[in-house]
């Protein structure tokens, strides 16, 4: 099955945000690296790969574990909030149109073909980013880190997105760049297109380098 056939065959497309629609993964990386430096931990891109799709608090807990650092809960909250402040400083520089290749063409095509469009993101900053980049108006439903109790790989965010647009899970496809997100989509019984330039992900239906490949019928 090709990516385009999957998209044409569903009633709803559910997008992950970071790394699928916008290039914010690098901002998360820079902000975590800056925080890790505070406790002399050399946080690299190798560790960062494991944080894709993982919530803010779970990411911090993993970094503290890797750094072998014991931090009380109240202080953990401060660290997470400091990281978020630095992250948002980078987000503030984003402008309308700062989206990954193929994003606008795909959203426009989905609107023209009467598909429901939803966001299913772990980020609590999702709305801000959609607004800054000028793509919020395409979405029929936005489900983000503020809307769920259980983060990916739990299917909650995708199931809620499907409910919000009134489509059964079997009629949805999820676009994801993280293994936690693919596993969440699978647990929700949805089809999955992986956005995975480096061929590191597994358990998807189709893989593309980026969204610009989806409307090309060869992929």
Q: Which residues bind ligand BG6 (CB under 6 A)?
A: 17-18, 28, 51-56, 59, 84, 121-125, 145, 178
Residue 54 interacts with which of ligand BG6, Mg ion, none, CB < 5 to 8 Å by class: ligand BG6
196 binds Mg ion (CB under 5 A): no
Q: How far is the CB of 159 from Mg ion (least distance, A)?
A: 18
Binding test (CB under 5 A) with Mg ion, winner from 3, 4, 12, 16: 16
Integer Cα distance of 143 and 102 in angstroms: 22
Binding test (CB under 5 A) with Mg ion, winner from 18, 47, 156, 213: 18
Per-residue tokens: 78 = 């401060």
**C-beta of residue 82 within 8 angstroms of C-beta of residue 60:** no
Q: Count other Cβ atoms within 10 Å, centred on residue 111.
A: 13
Q: Which is nearer to ligand BG6, 4 or 41 (CB)?
A: 41
42 is catalytic: no
178 binds Mg ion (CB under 5 A): yes
Q: CA dist 81 to 75, 131, 200, Å?
A: 10, 21, 30
Q: Which is nearer to ligand BG6, 4 or 35 (CB)?
A: 35
Integer Cα distance of 25 and 97 in angstroms: 17
Q: CA dist 160 to 13, 31, 148, 169, Å?
A: 13, 29, 8, 10
Integer Cα distance of 198 and 49 in angstroms: 11
Q: How far is the CB of 106 from ligand BG6 (least distance, A)?
A: 18
Per-residue tokens: 153 = 């790989």
16 is catalytic: yes
- Give me the residues that bind Mg ion (CB under 5 A), please: 16, 18-19, 177-178
Q: Which residues are catalytically annotated?
A: 16, 18
């Amino acid at each position: 099955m090709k990516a385009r056939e999957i998209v044409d065959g569903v009633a709803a497309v559910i997008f992950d945000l970071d790394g699928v629609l916008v290039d914010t993964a690098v901002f998360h990386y820079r902000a975590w690296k800056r925080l890790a430096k505070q406790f002399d931990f050399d946080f690299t891109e190798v560790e960062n790969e494991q944080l894709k799709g993982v919530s803010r608090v779970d990411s911090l807990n993993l970094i503290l574990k890797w750094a072998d650092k014991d931090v009380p809960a109240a202080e953990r909250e401060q660290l997470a909030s400091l990281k978020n402040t630095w992250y948002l400083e980078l987000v503030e520089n984003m402008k309308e149109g700062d989206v990954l290749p193929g994003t606008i063409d795909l959203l426009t095509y989905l609107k023209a073909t009467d598909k429901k469009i939803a966001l299913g993101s772990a980020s609590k900053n999702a709305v801000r980013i959609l607004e800054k980049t000028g793509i919020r108006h395409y979405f029929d439903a936005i489900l983000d880190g503020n809307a769920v109790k259980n983060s990916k790989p739990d299917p909650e965010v995708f199931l809620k997105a499907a409910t919000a647009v009134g489509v059964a899970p079997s009629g949805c496809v999820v676009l994801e760049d993280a293994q936690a997100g693919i596993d969440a989509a699978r647990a929700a019984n949805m089809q999955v297109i992986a956005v995975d330039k480096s061929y590191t992900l597994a358990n998807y239906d189709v893989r593309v380098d980026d969204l610009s490949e989806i409307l090309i019928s060869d992929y």
